[in-house]
Structure 1
Amino acid sequence: MLVAAAVCPCPPLLVPEVAAGAAPEMDAVRAACTDALGVLAAARPDRLVVVGPGSGADAGLEAYPQGARGSFRGFGVDLAVSLGPDRAQGEQTGPQLPYGLAVGAWLLGRTGWADAPVEGIGVGEALPAGRCAAVGRDVAARAGRVALLVLGDASACRTLKAPGYLDERAAPFDAEVGRALGAADVAALAALDVALARELKVSGRAPWQVLAGAAEGTDLAGALLYEDAPYGVGYVTATWS
């Protein structure tokens, strides 16, 4: 049963070593993410499932066990992370965490997560809404108290200098996402336009729809902790509890 969820953005710039001189500009986002993880810990889950963008635009579903490793070397920083406590010995033989889940692993490490076992799910950008919801229902149906850390960014088209340039559809899309996440509006998240989200370079659409499936039939209340678009990319932090 789903007992709590935290929704956080997952830009590598969230990691101070990656952001370098721009690190202070992300302090408010980091603080909101820390608060969101505090809500997860307070829920005392039996298991935490970290859901984020997959390793490629056309990836399907990717499973990552506790201790799966990732790094930010691709961003010029020699910083390694693991998904929850890493009890493995020697070199990792499985796949590396995609960047979004690596950011999630960094957030968990930063807050010293040790409240419950952790696993990760990477969700491909093209995965249909119905399939995302089914994944969420399967996760929520597991025994015990389940919490989700859901990672993803809103549109990357909010300004002329944004990664996706300026698109007038981006701000209204992000506003609806922020409203839905802040209100724990399952129906609104489930109805997000897959094609439009892809055009606006929204990395969070599929993970958010996994959350919507997991929350079906629950009575969770939402709280919006942060919403802004630094660097022209929409970042939203929210909690459901």
Structure 2
Amino acid sequence: MLVAAAVCPCPPLLVPEVAAGAAPELDAARAACTDALGVLAAARPDRLVVVGPAAESEHGAYPEGARGSFRGFGVELDVRLGRAGDAAGAPGARRLPPSLAVAAWLLRRTGWSDAPIEGLGVRETLATERCVAAGKEIAARAGRVALLVMGDGSACRTLKAPGYLDERAAPFDAQAARALAAADVAALEALDAGAAQELMVSGRAPWQVLAGAAEGAGLSGALLFEDAPYGVGYLVAAWS
């Protein structure tokens, strides 16, 4: 059963070494993520599942100890999802997608040691019903399950945004923010997958996995951070 969830953005720029001189611009987002992870720890879960957007080749499960890296962003920084594991270190083991690497960095930064961890990369195009089904399966894995859900809002909030300015972007992000603030499962499931893809929303599928996991859990929500630096919507929320 799901007992708590934290929702965080997943830009590699969240990692100060990647952001370099621009790191202070996301200090407030980092602080909110720390607070959200504190809610997870306070829930005393039996298992933590980290869910984030992934490319087609990165879709699927990642064991505890799976490794990731920010070397592709010009920084010699490696991370690991929780404690070391034999399977994760085996030859040919898959590397964490960027979203889960950012999650691994957040967990290391906050000193997570409260429960075993596993990761799940989900395709950004995964249909809503499949996201919801995946969430329900996750919630059934242990008596007390916590979720760390990674994902960004639209990347079309300004003229300089990665996807340029789209007038639908701000209303879409506001809809997602209201749903996350209220722990509104139905509203999250109602997010339009087609519009999300057009607006370059990486968080839609992970948020809908959260919706599936939270069905019937009776959690309450709080929105801890909402902003659109660089023209990309970043949201931080905590459910408990």
Give the TM-score normalised by structure 2.
0.97
- SS of aligned partner of 2:159: coil
The answer as to whether partners of 2:53 and 2:121 remain within 8 angstroms in 1 is yes
Distance in 2 (CA, whole Å) between partners of 1:142 and 1:26 is: 34
The answer as to whether partners of 1:2 and 1:218 remain within 8 angstroms in 2 is yes
Instruction: Specify the code of the residue in structure 1 equivalent to 2:157.
Output: R
- Count of aligned pairs between the two proteins: 239
In structure 1, the gaps of 5 or more residues are: none
Q: Cα 1:15–1:162, aligned 2, differ >3 Å: closer, same or farther? A: same
In the alignment, does 2:31 pair up with 1:31? yes
Distance in 2 (CA, whole Å) between partners of 1:179 and 1:80 is: 35
List per-residue Cα deviations over 1:185-233 (Å, max 9, x = no partner): 0001001100100000000000000000000011100000000000000
Once the two structures are TM-superposed, the CA of residue 85 in structure 1 deviates from its matched residue by 1.5
For residues 65-84 of structure 1, the aligned pairs below 5 Å read: 65-84=63-82
The answer as to whether partners of 1:59 and 1:123 remain within 8 angstroms in 2 is no
For residues 105-184 of structure 1, the aligned pairs below 5 Å read: 105-184=104-183
Instruction: Specify the code of the residue in structure 2 equivalent to 1:198.
Output: Q
The answer as to whether partners of 2:81 and 2:101 remain within 8 angstroms in 1 is yes
Distance in 1 (CA, whole Å) between partners of 2:16 and 2:181 is: 26
Once the two structures are TM-superposed, the CA of residue 163 in structure 1 deviates from its matched residue by 0.4
In the alignment, does 2:93 pair up with 1:94? yes
1:188 matched residue in structure 2: 187
Q: Cα 1:2–1:169, aligned 2, differ >3 Å: closer, same or farther? A: same
The answer as to whether partners of 1:155 and 1:197 remain within 8 angstroms in 2 is yes
- Please give the root-mean-square deviation of Cα atoms over the aligned residues, in Å: 1.3
Distance in 2 (CA, whole Å) between partners of 1:160 and 1:218 is: 40
List per-residue Cα deviations over 1:41-71 (Å, max 9, x = no partner): 00000000000001x1x45841000000000
- SS of aligned partner of 1:29: helix
Once the two structures are TM-superposed, the CA of residue 142 in structure 1 deviates from its matched residue by 1.5
Distance in 2 (CA, whole Å) between partners of 1:217 and 1:59 is: 32
2:16 matched residue in structure 1: 16
Once the two structures are TM-superposed, the CA of residue 143 in structure 1 deviates from its matched residue by 2.5
In structure 2, the gaps of 5 or more residues are: none
Instruction: Specify the code of the residue in structure 1 equivalent to 2:44.
Output: R
Distance in 2 (CA, whole Å) between partners of 1:125 and 1:59 is: 12
Distance in 2 (CA, whole Å) between partners of 1:100 and 1:154 is: 13
Give the TM-score normalised by structure 1.
0.97
Instruction: Specify the code of the residue in structure 2 equivalent to 1:70.
Output: G
Instruction: Specify the code of the residue in structure 2 equivalent to 1:173.
Output: F
- SS of aligned partner of 1:50: strand
Instruction: Specify the code of the residue in structure 1 equivalent to 2:217.
Output: T
Distance in 2 (CA, whole Å) between partners of 1:132 and 1:93 is: 27
Distance in 2 (CA, whole Å) between partners of 1:156 and 1:75 is: 19
Q: Cα 1:92–1:235, aligned 2, differ >3 Å: closer, same or farther? A: farther
- SS of aligned partner of 2:51: strand
